Each structure stands twice: as structure tokens, then as C-alpha cells.
Amino acid sequence: MTSSIKAGIIGCGAISQAYFNGCKLFRAIDLVACADLNPDAARAKAEQNNVRAMSVDELLADPDIQIVINLTVPQAHAKVSMQILQAGKHVHLEKPLAMSVEEGAAVLKLANERNLRVSCAPDTFLGSGQQTSRKLIDDGYIGKPLSGTAMMLGPGVENWHQSAEFYYKKGGGPMFDMGPYYINALVNLLGPVQAVTGICTKGYAQRTITTAVNFGKVIDVDVPTHYSGNLVFSSGAIITMMQSFDVRRHKHSSIEIYGTEGSLVVPDPNTFGGPVSLYRPGNEDWSQCALTHPYKDNSRGMGVADLAQAILEHRPHRCSAELALHAVEVMEAFEKSSESGCALVTIHHSCPRPAALSPRQLPSILS
Ligand SMILES: NC(=O)c1ccc[n+]([C@@H]2O[C@H](COP(=O)([O-])OP(=O)(O)OC[C@H]3O[C@@H](n4cnc5c(N)ncnc54)[C@H](O)[C@@H]3O)[C@@H](O)[C@H]2O)c1
């Protein structure tokens, strides 16, 4: 039986090196080529990582490549994913799946018609910290989860990303950029979302890039940069969520879950590791839990490896297209709710909770 699947990357920008590095950790994935609209970017990454530089058309026509990793900007995600599917290849793409439910649903429809798979970042919920948190919930350590918080609050990206413009256009903003980490993590912990109520605002009309390259470039902000609301889960749990690029500093944890028998502080879902803290009545204070699962360091590419292994084993992959479309609908629902005066918006595209990774199974599944 083949033990690995050949893959290529389209989009050789800032995040691509994490994939070149991460994919090396997993035997199921064999990264052989890369392409970019900018041929110099593809050539530089190819040289650095000992893979072939190709044009996008050449990569899509290569019969040996079965999975294409789409690392283009959000505004191109759906279009490039459709091109990949049209070429008869499976896709793993960076978040978000698409800029709207309508666009995302078209990608899923094409994949189903072609009998191909779509897998979508973030894959951080497969890491050590999130899987440990899930095991604690599944094993009953906090009883029935009732409520909690999910907070991503920061000043924005123009102080570290030289091409920050796309973050302030449709498909960007704190929700479409960071929301998928939180929504994937919460669905992994609690199951799917049933309804959303939210309000969105914009703190600044313009932003100025302060990186050495593009220093002083002014960007018009076209999207909300502060989202606040509540997610009502099918389980009954209610999570209060804020995603903001308008906050200079704060002291909230990334995710906290409050259950009938205790509380859990879940690590930053934009990382793979811990710490995970648990409080149970009778204890004096929080205790830090040992991490039960491997992959605590940056392992971006785990989702691609799980997709490749799932294809080889004829099983569902965890970073599923349904989960990604669900996340897009939840994010879009914040804006819909805000426009309608905070009405409760029902989520129509549900998804199965991804299968948990067992610590014993993991090495044989992925590495
Ligand atoms: N930068 C990060 O730290 C980071 C972290 C996690 C996720 N992401 C996500 O990764 C994706 C890419 O982000 P980035 O920071 O690497 O962006 P980037 O602007 O640095 O790179 C994007 C690359 O894609 C190429 N590209 C754009 N459209 C294309 C097309 N149609 N065909 C071929 N190539 C095309 C561009 O030429 C560019 O080289 C985004 O969805 C982002 O949300 C980024």
C-alpha cells in the first residue's frame, strides 16, 4: 500500500514556510513542488526547501500531485480551490474556506460532484493543548459544559505583516482572520453551533503599515474590526466571544469553559501546545494539567497529513469542509445579527464534531 501522497503548494508568502517545515514531520505527505502568481516567490521557496518551482498551471497539470495546499490570500481561496478541484486534485487550504457561505457552498458542491476532498485550516485543534482539553471535557472533568468565553483581542497586524492590506478587506478583519481558530477549537470541544447573536463595529477608518517594507502605507479599513456576541451550541452551552483588532492590551484568557463540575482554561487555539488549567470544587486553586497528547510545537501541516492519511485509509478527515463552511456561516452570522439589531441568527450548515485523536493512536496515524 502507498504510504504517502505527493502534494504541492500554491501561494509562497509569509505562512508557506510553516507548511514546508510542518509537512516534513509527517510521513503521509510528500511535498514536491510549489507555485505562486509571483514566480520569484515560488523559485525562492523551492530553492530553500528543495522542491520544484512550477507555474500554477504546471503544478495543476502534474499527474503525480494529488493534494494541493492553497496558501493564497483569503480573497483568492475559493477561486484557487475551485481551480484545484477542476484539475482533479484534493485541496487543503488556509482559513477561511471562503469569504461568504455562498462562495464556500459552491466549493463543497464542486468537490462532491468530483468526488474530491476539501480540508481547511486551522489544524491547531489537532495539537496537544486542544486535544488534552477535549479529553478532559469528554472524560467528565468539568461535568456538563454550560458556558464560557472565547477572546482574541489585539491591535491588528500592520505592525508585523508587510502586506497587511488584505486583513482589512472583505474576507479579512479579526473575525475572518482569527475566528476560525476559535470556532474550530470550540466545535472540537463542544460540538456544532446552533445560533449566533452579535454586534460589530470599526474602531479606526484607516491603518498605517509600520513594517520596514511598505512603512507608512495607509490602508482603508473596509471591514468591522471589533466583534462581540454569543454562540449558542446545539449542546445548550453558550459561549461569549469577542474578536478584535481594536484592543491595545487586555488580561483575558483565550478560551475558558465553565461546566457543572468545574472550569477549564483552554490554551490559545492559534498554538499547538498548552497550558491547560483545571479547577474543580474542593481544590484550593487552578491546577495545571499534564498534556495527554503529542504535537505541542508548531505542527502546521498536521491537517494536511490527516487528510492524506484519511485518503489512504478511506476514512473522514478532521479539518473537514463541513466544519470550514460551518465556521464561515458562524462568522457571517455575527454581521447578519449586527445588521438586524442583534437578532438571534440560526446556523443552517451544521457539521459533525471532528473525531478525537487518541494519544495511543496518534503516532501511527500521523507520524
Ligand atoms: N502570515 C501568517 O502568519 C498566517 C498565519 C496563519 C494563516 N495565514 C493565512 O495564510 C494565507 C496566506 O497568508 P500569507 O500571510 O502567507 O499571505 P501573503 O500575502 O504573504 O502570501 C500570499 C501569496 O499568495 C500568492 N497568491 C495570491 N493569489 C494567488 C493566486 N490566485 N494564485 C497563486 N498565488 C497567489 C501571492 O503572490 C503571495 O505570494 C491567508 O489566508 C492567511 O489568513 C497566514
- Secondary structure of 22-76 in the HEC alphabet? HHCCCCCEEEEEEECCCHHHHHHHHHHHCCEECCHHHHHHCCCCCEEEECCCHHH
Q: How far away, in angstroms, is 148 Cα from ligand 1 center?
A: 32
34 phi/psi in degrees, rounded to 5: -150, 155
In a domain, 351, yes or no: no
pLDDT reported for residue 367 = 55
Do both 100 and 53 map to the same domain? yes
Do both 342 and 309 map to the same domain? no
pLDDT reported for residue 82 = 98
Do both 303 and 290 map to the same domain? no
Do both 97 and 175 map to the same domain? no
Is residue 328 within 8 A of residue 301, CB to CB? The reply is no
Nearest CA residue ID for atom 38, ligand 1: 13
Full domain range(s) for residue 145: 127-295+326-346
Determine how many CB atoms are found less than 10 A away from the CB of residue 340: 11
pTM: 0.96
The CATH number that applies at residue 185 is 3.30.360.10
- DSSP type of residue 213: T
pLDDT single digits (tens) 257-295: 999 999 999 999 999 999 999 999 999 999 999 999 999
Do both 286 and 315 map to the same domain? no
Do both 112 and 24 map to the same domain? yes
What's the structural domain count of the chain? Answer: 2
11 touches ligand 1 (CB under 6 Å): yes
pLDDT single digits (tens) 151-163: 999 999 999 999 8
- pLDDT level of residue 358 (50, 70, 90 thresholds): confident
36 touches ligand 1 (CB under 6 Å): yes
pLDDT single digits (tens) 50-73: 999 999 999 999 999 999 999 999
The CATH number that applies at residue 10 is 3.40.50.720
- More confident of the two residues 322 and 25: 322
In a domain, 352, yes or no: no
What gap in Å lies between CA 264 and CA 13, rounded to an integer?
A: 36
Do both 264 and 135 map to the same domain? yes
In a domain, 196, yes or no: yes
Do both 114 and 237 map to the same domain? no
* Ligand 1 probe mutation, 20, 73, 175, 328, most atoms within 8 A of CB: 73
What is the pLDDT averaged over residues 171-186? 96
- Secondary structure of 262-325 in the HEC alphabet? EEEEECCCCCCCCCCEEECECECCCEECCCCCCCCCCCCCHHHHHHHHHHHHCCCCCCEHHHHH
Do both 34 and 87 map to the same domain? yes
